Structure 1
């Protein structure tokens, strides 16, 4: 069954999606791509912008025809049965468990920088874990007030984020003394840069969980997807050009602070504080959207009696508070574990990256089965693209393969037959 809450407008949906796609990636990926491929990284951005189109189209069409809180898991269930749908559901649960702590700690790092600059924290002190936990509580409180309230707040923050980044990028490019560096053409480096750029688009699937929350899903959801992707590509493109011209990239430290230096060069020391606050807001919204999508997924699973019925409970703001609370607790636990065992953030990103691509691949294959006409052929292209991207991960795809093998084996035993289950 469809799950209803207070309805979203296209503008609010675009605000949610843009902030999710910018996420933490906007502050480091353009610099990494520039380091790998130099000026040819702009070609890598162009190629990924083209390759992402069939994936975006597939998600948009599936969300238009099958608006449901289950998102990709629901599409797969409609195409291949309950066992397959549950498997994808658990992949997304693992994505949230691995990916959200990375974004939470990135957000905490930005806010700590600003607080140190304001002399509210001592230089050299590390309070990022405490800041991340506090942020999780704030995400919980805002989202308990309802998606409509969260969308209004987050849309305003998205406008601030995009405005700040665009101003710094355009201001830099108006300097006639700056030019793109001369770089030798190496196809392998362009391909490597493209794999890093993929991280910037890992967020499309999260908004599928709220497709039914738009006023007119069949019209508003695809429009939101395409407007959001267009804005995101423009922002990433302009930032990439600015970083190439200014040279704010190179080693890991310069890459991590590339956009900070870019904004600081345009707005001075106040710009340093501003960009750190903007970075915190971007990551905050990204985590928030994933938690909302996660709670909707668990709500859908509860309605299909796949998990405890308590996950279907709604508060007075129509929020599935059990699922939302579970998402916050899961992220909190993973933060503590990763901090205790000193697990590198790079590892969490790599593991989550593989799972993301598998979810995209599952959506593409479901689209081949479910979409009519040209939509089916575009889904074929999307599936092939996802498969190639997954293979390009190399050894980093092993965790995803191991997880899906374990889950697949478990559900093969629990559900020896996999008859397609249609729900309305």
Structure 2
């Protein structure tokens, strides 16, 4: 059970859920999805909004029945065992360094759009963000949850203002041809858009903080689904209707839309917002990811050297260095190999989707069979399995992470069994490891 005193109201919980889902992806996703599927990307957006309903309701049902700060990792552990819970942790931990370069390049694109310099400016901003956020976290600094929520509010407001200002310039002929790259491209676009919808699992980890979880969690979740769905669909549709084919070529779609609707020097403003949002998101993910890595190492699911700094109030600098170092390496690899953002984003979303597969699979196993919540979980599991297939070869990264996790944990368990025999001592049950659920929760709510 959660050790946090119950204090969340329905509006507060809805705001936190919205904040967990809305993120940096929205500043560039409309352009990336349009580049993959053209106007038919709207079908992918709608599909992800519809998928959010059973997915969010499934995690809400789990949270209401089993309120625990560990969230999805705890449920996976209940259903499939501690090693499966450790695999969830690995998926989160190794998705961060893959996702950090695209996130930082999104902000870099807005800065380049405002100041000029093209790709060099975007990459320079990405390097500064990855390095700077890593150093800030190493110093033990991070933005508070309240500041994170304010930044999300700024993003939601900017999206609303942008849509309202630009929509009068919409042209229906911009939606033709509707599927220039074929209907198969819609699936790839949907797999990419998981980036913008990741965060529904945080609904479960918040459940223990509501006054009445069984009543309040579904209400807050319903509000969050409606708000997120309306904002995303409105922005995606407006981008295509106003910018037309130029949407796919835009490095800063929010700036282009706002400029079309308002005019004037709005690009500097949107660039500043994009950078602040990215700093906030990366700071939260680096802090949560570093703690998660240290907790996994403490529990024997990662090399023990990474466990240093896992105690309360400590800074897990070794784990943080691994996250930041991998992030920089992926950025360099992406630039040298000219990969672009999409492949890295699909690799990261593959990890998120696999977490959803494990989480909804746990719900199918744990929820009362045959009930409405169970059938909702079945629909959610089926949907995320389809998304995992649509991820294509990029899912190999996520599957490889899970296989490596299970192999490492198996080897670590064997070492723990052998060590007491060598020293002639008995292994106490409490020494076998601790639950990493709360560390996963930090990352889920980042």
Range of TM-score over shorter length: 0.7 to 0.9
Aligned to 1:130: 128
Q: Give 5+ residue unaligned stretches, structure 2.
A: 415-432, 438-446
Is residue 2:4 matched to residue 1:4? Answer: yes
The 2-side partners of 1:303 and 1:411 are apart by: 12
Find the partner of 2:408 among 410, 415, 421. Answer: 410
Report whether the alignment pairs 1:49 with 2:49.
yes
> How big is the shift at 1:169?
0.9
Aligned residue among 155, 158, 172 for 1:164 = 158
CA distance in 2 between counterparts of 1:335 and 1:273 reads 27
1:27-176 superposed matches below 5 A: 27-111=27-111, 116=115, 126-138=124-136, 144=142, 150-175=144-169
In the alignment, what sits opposite 1:386? Answer: 384
Match of 2:67, SS? coil
> Match of 2:197?
201
- In the alignment, what sits opposite 2:423? none
In the TM superposition, 1:252-331 aligns within 5 A as 254-291=249-286, 293-294=288-289, 297=292, 313-315=311-313, 321-322=314-315, 328-331=320-323
2:394 to 392, 396, 401: 396
Distance 2:294 2:5 in 1: 12
Contact between 1:70 and 1:300, CA under 8 Å: does it hold in 2? no
Question: What TM-score do you get using the length of structure 2 for normalisation?
Answer: 0.76
The equivalent of 2:223 in structure 1 is 227
Counterpart contact for 2:44–2:190, Cα < 8 Å = yes
Q: SS state of the match for residue 312, structure 2? A: coil
What per-residue deviation string (whole Å, max 9, x for no partner) do you get for residues 219-261 of structure 1? 5554444333322211111112211222254486x23222221
Tell me the distance in 1 between the aligned counterparts of 2:138 and 2:9.
Answer: 22
- The alpha-carbon distance between structure 1 residues 172 and 327, as it changes in their structure 2 partners (threshold 3 A), is farther
State the distance in 1 between where 2:105 and 2:43 align. Answer: 31
1:111 and 1:207, CA in 2 relative to 1: closer, same or farther beyond 3 A?
farther
Q: Matches of 1:314 and 1:352 in 2, distance apart?
A: 29
Aligned-CA RMSD value: 3.8
Q: Hey, what's the Cα distance between the residues in 1 that align with 2:121 and 2:87?
A: 46
Taking the aligned partners of 1:78 and 1:422, their CA distance within structure 2 comes to 14
Which string of whole-angstrom CA distances, capped at 9 and with x for unpartnered residues, describes residues 19-71 of structure 1? 44332321222233334444443333222222232221122222333333433
Matches within 5 A, 1:184-195: 184=178, 187-195=183-191
1:59-101, Cα deviation, whole Å (9 max, x unpaired): 2222333333433221111112112212222222112232234
- SS in structure 2 opposite 1:256? coil
Q: Secondary structure at the match of 1:352?
A: helix
Q: Displacement of 1:272 after TM fit?
A: 0.9
Q: What is the alpha-carbon distance in structure 2 between the residues aligned to residue 70 and residue 297 of structure 1? A: 11
Partner of 2:421: none
Distance 1:327 1:212, change over 3 A: farther
Tell me the distance in 2 between the aligned counterparts of 1:44 and 1:335.
Answer: 28
1:108 and 1:13 mapped to 2: Cα distance? Answer: 32
Q: How many residues matched?
A: 406
Q: Secondary structure, in 3 states, of the residue corresponding to 1:270?
A: coil
Q: Which residue of 1 aligns with 2:348?
A: 352
Distance 2:136 2:68 in 1: 27
* Inter-CA distance 394–112: structure 2 relative to 1 (3 Å threshold): closer
